[in-house]
Homo-oligomer: A and B are copies of this chain.
């Protein structure tokens, strides 16, 4: 390990969620998030099974990060199959089919695989070795675009934070979920990079504790002061005047600006509104679903009872107890101060403002 220069400002995000190592043949390196926060171990993926297993086991998670991992996963699967055009086409098809089964509901996974398929079709007639090289370029481009989107979100969002601000966030919408600085946490990292002293309160985010496990880990590693609280404490920390702004990510945003995000987000939005704390949602354009107007038309997945009854080892409820475990909730646009996108900030979102903002 290199010795750090104690005079230099700490570099935000001194870890890599995922990257391609080498040229061709190369390998996909992934931070194994199943071992966080206890261990920082990197997986080396040299076969499609390695990549498939890593996505399925949640070693890599977060919609953008999964998409990027799948794009590089395609290269892992085809880079040795360059003896003939038939050989490469068969390997490409097998790889794409396999990876598509890793997380059946992950939108970015299909989006990334479709983009690799489209590029493969465009390259028809090129020699196999050249095709693989161009597809690696495409995967790198997908990664680079995600990084730039994160940067842009961070840049626009940082203007909303002042020196000394204390930001509350929920779940993990950070570098661990993307190929760059994250979405919600990009706003924090970017403000810190601008020299503002910003600290974070991280909701632990039951049932899966992504806040306690992942957000706390990446902020600590990035030298951003972070305090973990339980989700029910949000009202009290706001009442005590400890929070200057809320910044969260989004799984989907409707045309009128309603936000589907991790369960617990809506509760935070109500508390923010009551206490006059600005509530910001950070997400790239690709998170917007212009075909859906109202949040209540988004289908909410219900997850297994065990996440509540034995979330972290021992059972903490009686046997055969009823639970209710929605994975996401809907925060209506009326509770949102502004949506921070890679293409600028939409204040007081409405259908008209969202459509005008994106020209959709």
Contact = CB atoms under 8 A, between A and B. Distances in A.
Interface string A316-330: 111111111110011
A304 interface: no
Given A231-B232, A263-B236, A326-B236, A318 B220 contact: yes
B264 A230 contact: yes
A266 interface: yes
Given A216-B318, A233-B324, A228 B309 contact: yes
Contacts of A318: 37, 216-217, 220
Interface stretch (A114-122, A155-163, A267-275, A282-290): A267-275
A38 B266 contact: no
Contact of A270 (B170, B237, B274, B308): B274
A236 B321 contact: no
Contact of A312 (B216, B234, B235, B312): B312
B274 A229 contact: no
Q: Which of A235, A269, A314 has the most CB of B within 10 A?
A: A235
A206 B232 contact: yes
Nearest to A225: B322
Given A212-B316, A267-B267, A317-B37, A323 B228 contact: yes
A236 B321 CA distance: 20
Interface residues of A, number: 59
A213 interface: yes
Given A209-B316, A313-B314, A317-B216, A308 B267 contact: no
Given A204-B206, A212-B316, A220-B320, 14 more contacts: A205-B232, A216-B318, A217-B317, A220-B318, A230-B231, A230-B264, A230-B308, A230-B325, A232-B263, A235-B268, A236-B266, A236-B267, A274-B274, A313-B313
17 contacts: A37-B315, A37-B318, A204-B317, A216-B317, A227-B322, A227-B323, A228-B322, A229-B325, A232-B264, A233-B267, A235-B266, A235-B270, A236-B326, A239-B266, A271-B271, A312-B316, A313-B313
